[in-house]
Amino acid sequence: MRLLVRGEATQPGRNSNFVKESSRMKPSTENEIAGKVHEVKGKIKEKLGQLTNDSDLEAEGVGEKIGGKIQKKIGQGKKVLGK
């Protein structure tokens, strides 16, 4: 199975974009997803810092986790407000 790259035609002579303009996510959804990603990355950094006794990495992980939670909440708030 071969995945199409954005802008790659499925058949010669046809211009079919893999990601269409109308299929983009809402900014609120993007914020929620990005926030969750940062939250997970923060948890990983925090645990890695604990395991390696690296207080700087642990603190960075805590900060990123909190930032991710905030970004996720912003996305949820935008969704409630309909933006």
Is residue 5 a part of any domain in this protein? Answer: no
- What is the SS3 assignment for 46? helix
CA distance 43 to 61: 6
pLDDT of residue 78: 85
57 occurs within a structural domain: yes
In a domain, 43, yes or no: yes
Query: Is 9 a member of any domain?
Result: no
Residue 45: domain span? 26-77
Residues 20-44: pLDDT tens digits? 555 687 888 888 999 999 999 999 9
79 confidence band (pLDDT: 50, 70, 90): confident
Buried b / exposed e along 43-60 (16+ C-beta atoms within 10 A): eebbeebeeeeeeebbeb
80 pLDDT band, cuts 50/70/90, is confident
What does the alpha-carbon distance between residue 83 and residue 70 come to, in Å, rounded to a whole number? 17
- Report helix, strand or coil for 76: helix
- Whether 36 is in a domain gets the answer yes
The answer to whether residue 64 is domain-embedded is: yes
Is 70 inside any structural domain? yes
Place of tokens 């940062």: 38
Look at the chain and report how many structural domains it folds into: 1
